[in-house]
Every structure is written in structure tokens, then in C-alpha cells.
Amino acid sequence: MEFQTLKEDTCFYFHGPVNIGYLRNGEEGMLIDAGIDASTMKKVLKRLMQEELPLTHLFITHAHSDHYGGAHYLQNQRTVHTAAPILEEAILQYPILEPLYLFGGNDPLSELRNKFLEGTPIKIDQTIEEGFCQIGSFSIEAILLPGHSYHQLGLLYQEIFYAGDSYFGEKQLEKHGIPYLTDAQTAMDSLHKLLTVTCRGSVPGHGTFEENFQSTVQANLDYHKQLLDWLEEEIGKKKDGMTHEDVIASMCAHYQVRTPQLSQWLLFRTAVTAYLIALLKQNRVTSEIKDYRWVFKIIN
């Protein structure tokens, strides 16, 4: 992981597969997210010790295990005041909720209870809502950015924005084909909101720091629009409509995503459904329960 300075003595980040932010204010230091596991956190702690930087606080942008999986190890090694968004904090304290909701509310099979879907529970000391807030000595603006997760918050500090997974680097969009979302319409609303954020630069959860990040945000909007247009056209080819499961299979095949395991298929099922939700909200498709199946049709 590469440790980069964004604003001298104040704002930094660890650049890796999942970015981790770091803020400093005098004798206090705060990580923004914690990586996927203990090995990631060990590297972070080693570098902070080498740089003689303090660590007193942790903020988790959203409750996906690649962003909080290393937090349990950190809390066992250090006394850190841990903050998280409302609602997300419930999942952080009871991580079984993620495989539970992905599995449609049924008790999750053992194969779904892995570190990619279910991190180790952590203690949350402070819950945060949108707006200006105080975490220790850090005066921060929290910006609500749902769509990828239910109550994800980005943090703006000293004109540097830590965006969580509200947008992805363009390489990450291409890699995943169908990005993980819970509601594509809400995600696009968050992207439009990001375009109004005034800052010196932004760090996404996956990607690189950019001063002119707005072009990457626009690329995300364009990509989501492309997927929505494709999906509407695909459903329109079927006079009698398409079942939910057929839509999932068709979209995954077209974008060549790999789902060899149940856990991966469930993630893409959620993502495809997120785009269907957007089409419903935009009144571009309609749906009904027909012969015990959820069926989608375009609106002529």
C-alpha cells in the first residue's frame, strides 16, 4: 500500500485495492475505513509507526466488509474511538445482517459467512448523521451518499473529500461490469450531489485521488445510464416481459460477469435489481407478479 500526502501534515491516504484515508490534527489521528482484514491493518499500523503518526480515531464510511474487515484487529491493538453512519453501525455491530439480507432474509448458508460478506463485529462509539459533526478534535462535514450502501457517508475535511464507494474509478467500473448498488436511481442522485461538492480533490474507495474528480463522477453517471438503456432495450425485446431471474441471467451474460459461487451470484442479483428499481422509479418499466414470478415489461 502506498501512503500519499494530500495536504501537508493534515490529510493523507493509503492507496491500494481499497483505499484508506488518514487525517491528523495535532496529537490525534483518524483512519477513514479499515481495509478488508487484519493483514491490511497491520501494514497500516506499521507505516503510521514509521512516520510517528498518532492513531486515536476510526470512521467507517459504510458497512461493507472490504471497508471494515480490519477494524476488529485495530480495536484489539489500540484504543480507538470508532464512529460510523446511522444504520450502517447496526451492520458493523451485527455483520451477519449482510449475508442475511443478500440471502433474502433466510438464514444464510455457511458458504455465505465469509470475510467478503461478513466481517468480524466491531464496537461503535459514535453514530454520525449528515451535516457538520465533531469526531474528537476533527471538525468534519459528513455528506450522505446512498445507493451503493444504505446510509453511506463521505467526509469533507480541510478541503479534501473522502468519498467511500459513492463513485468508482473508471478502471473499477470496467473491471466489475455491473457495479454493486442497492438502488441505481439513488446512486445516480448521489453522483449528482457529488458534482456540487467544493473541494481540492477526492479519494474514492476504489481508484485514485483526483483533483478534478468531477470527470470521473460524470463517467460513473454515463456508465449507469448505459446499463439502464441496455436493460430497458433488453426487456423490450420480450413481448410478454421478462422474469426477474431471466433479467439477472441476461444482464450478467451480456456484461460477462463471473458468478461461479452463490455469494457472487447474490451480489450481482442485488446489483441487477438495483437497475430494475431505477427503471421502475423512472417509469420506464412496469412489473407484476404473474404465475408466481416477478415479471418486468417496458411501458409503451
29 in the same domain as 162? yes
Q: Rounded distance, CA 229 to CA 207, Å?
A: 25
The pLDDT value given to residue 123: 98
In tens digits, what is the pLDDT along the chain, a chain of 300 residues? 899 999 999 999 999 999 999 999 999 999 999 999 999 999 999 999 999 999 999 999 999 999 999 999 999 999 999 999 999 999 999 999 999 999 999 999 999 999 999 999 999 999 999 999 999 999 999 999 999 999 999 999 999 999 999 999 998 888 889 999 999 999 999 999 999 999 999 999 999 999 999 999 999 999 999 999 999 999 999 999 999 999 999 999 999 999 999 999 999 999 999 999 999 999 999 999 999 999 999 987
Is 89 contained in some domain? Answer: yes
Instruction: Flag whether 47 is in a domain.
Output: yes
Determine, yes or no, domain membership for 266: yes
Residue where a domain stops, chosen among 150, 166, 182? 166
Tell me: do 281 and 157 sit in the same domain: no
Number of domains within the chain: 2
Same-domain pairing of 10 and 139: yes
- Assess whether 7 and 133 both reside in one domain: yes
CA distances in angstroms from 256 to 83, 259, 265, listed in the order given: 38, 10, 13
Q: Which amino acid is at 268?
A: F
Does one domain contain both 86 and 15? yes
CA distances, 58 to each of 43, 67, 79, 104, 162 (Å): 16, 11, 10, 31, 13
Indicate the residue among 144, 166, 188 that finishes a domain: 166
Q: What is the CATH number of the domain that holds 236?
A: 1.10.10
Same domain, 272 and 153: no
Helix or strand (DSSP H, E) at 122: none
> Is residue 186 one of the residues assigned to a domain?
no
Specify if 98 maps to a domain: yes
Q: For residues 202 and 162, what is the distance between their CA atoms, to the nearest angstrom?
A: 6
pLDDT (0 to 100) of residue 300: 77
Task: Tell which of 166, 185, 208 closes a domain.
Answer: 166
Assess whether 44 and 128 both reside in one domain.
yes
Look up the pTM and report it.
Answer: 0.96
251 and 114 within one domain: no
Same domain, 155 and 279: no
Same domain as 245, residue 148: no
What lies within 8 Å, CB to CB, of 186 at 6+ separation is 146, 147
Quick check: 204 and 19 in contact, CB under 8 A? Answer: yes
Within-domain flag for 258? yes
Map grid coordinates 458493523 to a residue.
Answer: 92
pLDDT at 174: 86
Q: How far is it, in rounded angstroms, from Cα 43 to Cα 24?
A: 18
Where are any strands of DSSP class E within the chain? 2-7, 11-15, 20-25, 28-32, 57-59, 81-85, 126-128, 131-135, 138-144, 153-157, 160-162, 201-203, 242-243, 285-290, 293-298
Residue 87 is part of a domain; what is its CATH number?
A: 3.60.15.10
- For 272, the domain range is 224-298
Residue 176 placed within a domain: no
| The three grid cell numbers given for residue 25, joined into one nine-digit string | 490534527
For residues 162 and 24, state if they share a domain.
yes
- Within-domain flag for 191: no
Write phi, then psi, for 70 (nearest 5 degrees).
Answer: -90, 0
Residues 162 and 67 in one domain: yes
